[in-house]
Amino acid sequence: MGMHRKMCVGTGDGVVLLKENDTKWELAGSSLPGKPIEDIVVLPNGSIFCGVPHDGVYSSSDGGAHWDRVIEIDVRAMAAALPLQPTTIYAATEPVGLYRSSDGGDSWQEIEALRQMPEEIQEQWFFPGDECHEGHVKTINVNPKDPMDILLGIEHGGVVRTRDGGLTWEDLSEGIEYLDVHVVNRDPVQDELFYVTTARGFYRSENGGHDWIMRQDGVTRDFFHDFVVQPGAATSLFLATANGSPPSWIRDGGSKSAIYRSEDGARSWQQMTGGLGNSLEPMVWGLVGDPEDDSRLYAAIGTGVWASDDRGDSWDQIYDGSSALRTLSVIA
């Protein structure tokens, strides 16, 4: 440790800024009170972007002191096209839609071809749990080696991909049984090795999403959410899981969530219990790696942020707040 990282934590009640001071993390501020933060992007110039559902994308260029709403959309996911396009940001919505800003958030354009996918594909985009019953984009994954190559995970809809910056789109959902897609990510080394979590499974595809194979040997939970593909001497995967689905977590024991690690490309998984115990009552909603240290990880668990500096073997709580955490972003 001994560095001076910063962390933006999205909560159900605004954004919390944490600062690392040698080996300790300190609260550096909080803002956007009352706004549920669904996703956060931080650009290399320090600008912070927060996505608020049913509201829009908020931007701050002064470390969170002042915020401007830069686009009014029902935003559900965000991503930056780093490292190759440091001023390009994506924001995705419900109903399924994707917007791009190439100038650091000043102007936005909708990528219209996504909504022009074949009707039989769009009929899969159906979220049976809110007023409009439309699916929404849950994850945007931009290829760090080729920003024209973008994957979208659609919650109740599947996975779609563009390789030309959004001009054309391909559906990659075949083989995923339950299309409640949560997170889609790709291997940092093998270009066409993709991973997906749905509410009911973890899938791996070695050929760019054309053949998905369920890979959860060793996982004793049945709800799957965030995961990290962590580079290093050997790529490791870290997976946040729980039992049942969110409505059932009001029972005793809560979500019974746990973090698992795989060091063989998801062929087998081992639960990480150091500091966490066998079962966590609150859900692990966020998992992120460290931008500079492959052995470090951070988890958003309930109202707290936990950190591990030994590839998940042991965990310590570094922050506890008053509002449920939803997403994390760490800046070196």
Q: Is 222 in the site for other proteins (CB under 8 A)?
A: yes
217, 292, 310, 320: which one binds other proteins (CB under 8 A): 217
**Distance, C-alpha 80 to centroid of its chain:** 12
200, 263, 295, 331: which one binds other proteins (CB under 8 A): 200
Task: Quote the CA–CA distance of 16 and 10 in Å, as a whole number.
Answer: 7
Helix ranges (DSSP H) in 216-311:
none
Q: Is 178 in the site for other proteins (CB under 8 A)?
A: yes
For residue 52, what are the β-bridge partners?
56
For residue 122, what are the β-bridge partners?
none
Show the site string, 95-124: x = touches other proteins by CB under 8 A, - = not.
------------------------x-----
HEC sequence for 166-235: CCCCEECCCCCCCCEEEEEEECCCCCCCEEEEECCEEEEECCCCCCCEECCCCCCCCEEEEEEEECCCCC
Tell me whether residue 124 or residue 273 sits nearer to other proteins (CB atom).
124
174, 191, 313, 316: which one binds other proteins (CB under 8 A): 174
Tell me whether residue 222 or residue 309 sits nearer to other proteins (CB atom).
222
Tell me whether residue 108 or residue 249 sits nearer to other proteins (CB atom).
249
CB 127 within 8 A of CB 170: no
User: Residue 17 CB, nearest distance to other proteins (Å)?
Assistant: 38
CB 81 within 8 A of CB 90: yes
Hey, which residues between 227 and 246 contact other proteins (CB under 8 A)?
Answer: 244
192, 211, 264, 316: which one binds other proteins (CB under 8 A): 211
Half-sphere exposure of 188 (CA within 13 A, CB side): 13
User: Residue 56 CB, nearest distance to other proteins (Å)?
Assistant: 24
Amino acid occupying residue 44: P
Hey, which residues between 266 and 295 contact other proteins (CB under 8 A)?
Answer: 267
User: Residue 198 CB, nearest distance to other proteins (Å)?
Assistant: 10
Q: Is 248 in the site for other proteins (CB under 8 A)?
A: yes
Task: Quote the CA–CA distance of 266 and 104 in Å, as a whole number.
Answer: 36
Hey, which residues between 120 and 159 contact other proteins (CB under 8 A)?
Answer: 126, 128, 133
Task: Quote the CA–CA distance of 214 and 267 in Å, as a whole number.
Answer: 9
Tell me whether residue 125 or residue 306 sits nearer to other proteins (CB atom).
125
With a CB cutoff of 8 Å and minimum separation 6, the contacts of 233 are none
Q: How far is CA 242 from CA 39, 106, 314, 327, in A?
A: 21, 39, 19, 17
Tell me whether residue 31 or residue 243 sits nearer to other proteins (CB atom).
243
Q: Is 191 in the site for other proteins (CB under 8 A)?
A: no
For residue 6, what are the β-bridge partners?
19, 331
Q: Is 263 in the site for other proteins (CB under 8 A)?
A: no
Question: Given the rule CB under 8 A, which residues bind other proteins?
Answer: 119, 126, 128, 133, 174-175, 177-178, 200-201, 211-215, 217-218, 222, 244, 248, 251, 267
